[in-house]
Structure 1
Amino acid sequence: MGEVAKEAKVSTSAIRHWEKESLVHPQRNLDSGFRQFDIEDIRKIFIIRTVQRTVFSLEIVREVLKEIENNKITQTREIASHALDQVNVILFKQIKGIAACDYLLKTIDEEE
């Protein structure tokens, strides 16, 4: 698991959580008990990581994985496009907040 986590740049606890949520289904090595990830699990881990970085819930992650598994690329593209729109709204609000804080600091500095 550590190798997969390192390659995907996620924590092992995140992968354990995704396994608990039935998003990935690694096999167990009968001798060692270690998880064995096949290429499909690794692909899902990269997809989950990417989708979650846009601040989405596990329900959205499940939806994206389902659409990809069913080769519904158009729906997956729509989800990604909607995600991008939401991220842009959040970023715009953050930029406005930064500008307001900057203005406040300049105003305070002028009064000193």
Structure 2
Amino acid sequence: MKYTMKQMTEYVGVSNTTLKRYENNGLIPPVLYTQGKHRRYEEIHLIAFKTIRKLLKGFDIPVAYQLMTLAKEKKFTEANWSIAQAQKALVKKKETLQMHKEFILSFPQKPLKKQTMRIGELAKFADIETSTIRYWEERGLITGIREKSSGYRFYEKSEVQKTIIISLLRKSIYKLEDIKAIIDEMDDENLVSIRKHYTTVNDELDNQLAMQLKAISSYTVYCEKLAYY
């Protein structure tokens, strides 16, 4: 069966500009053209377009585009490893969120194994770049202590807490000025607000996982079709 551009936009639910962009980016199998330069899509293209849309709901754009390119090139094993890597990253986000939640909500009762952290240790614990920590310190959000003998910067437990909170709030609509106001007046009421943020972010990760699994299911079917195309 052949489909016109108009039919395809109706079936997929996107504009013709979007379909053309996918084609121009080399994400779908070659398209047939009539003598009048009109596109004539096949069933494999319909499956491809629907697969792209599902991938974009569960994965970042670069990953979705990479998976479609690998499928087109029939590099199915490489595509499977890319999926595994993306899901590994999602699992890490989930584990990091849980670790930070336990640390923040148990503060100040729960002791750290170390009472201070160097910038590299803090960056690893907070899952952010050291340059980000330096920037936040320049903006007055956190404060480090420089040891005169070694020159190393250390961050006490309260600053570790602030860093985790800032990292979380930066995922929402807050500006740095708003975040500074929150951490400068940190109290039980603010912690309640932060608990809500954790719940929201956690729900978003759960939803992303569900979207990824749906996308993977469609992607598997698409790859099976391509194997014999």
- Give the TM-score band, short-chain normalised: 0.5 to 0.7
Do residues 94 (structure 1) and 94 (structure 2) align?
no
- Segments of structure 2 that go 5 or more residues without pairing to the other structure are 1-116
2:192 alignment partner in structure 1: 74
Normalised to the residue count of structure 1, the TM-score between the two structures is 0.63
Query: Which residue does 1:84 correspond to in 2?
Result: 202
User: Matched residue of 1:56: which SS?
Assistant: coil
Find the counterpart in structure 2 of residue 104 from structure 1. Answer: 222
1:4 maps to 119
Q: Determine the C-alpha separation between the residues in 1 that align with 2:205 and 2:187.
A: 26
Is the alpha carbon distance of 1:92 and 1:60 closer, same or farther for their aligned partners in structure 2, counting shifts above 3 Å? Answer: farther
Q: 2: distance between equivalents of 1:19 and 1:96?
A: 42
Q: Give me the whole-angstrom Cα distance separating, in 2, the residues matched to 1:23 and 1:60.
A: 12
Offset, 1:31: 8.3
Instruction: Please identify, of 7-16 and 31-40, the stretch whose mean Cα deviation from structure 2 is larger.
Output: 31-40
- C-alpha contact (below 8 Å) 1:4/1:42 kept by paired residues: no
State the AA in 1 paired with 2:161. Answer: R
Bigger Cα Rg: 2
8 Å contact from structure 1 (residues 27, 37) kept in 2: yes
Aligned partner of 2:171: which letter? F
The change in CA–CA distance for 1:22 and 1:105 in structure 2 (over 3 A counts) is: farther
CA distance in 1, matches of 2:149, 2:196: 44
8 Å contact kept, 2:122–2:160: no
Cα distance in 1 between the residues matched to 2:199 and 2:171: 13
Sequence identity (%): 22
Q: What is the DSSP-based 3-state SS (H/G/I as helix, E as strand, rest coil) of the residue aligned with 2:193?
A: helix
Which structure has more relative contact order (CA 8 Å, sep 6+)? It is 2
Cα deviation per residue 1:45-64 (whole Å; 9 max; x = unaligned)?
A: 24445x37xx814728838x
Other-structure match for 1:59: 174
8 Å Cα contact 2:118/2:152 also seen in 1? no
Residue aligned with 2:203, SS: helix
Distance 2:186 2:163 in 1: 14
Q: What residue is the counterpart of 2:56 in the other structure?
A: none
Q: Distance in 2 between matches of 1:23 and 1:103?
A: 49
Q: How many residues align?
A: 106
Structure 1: unaligned runs, 5 residues or longer: none
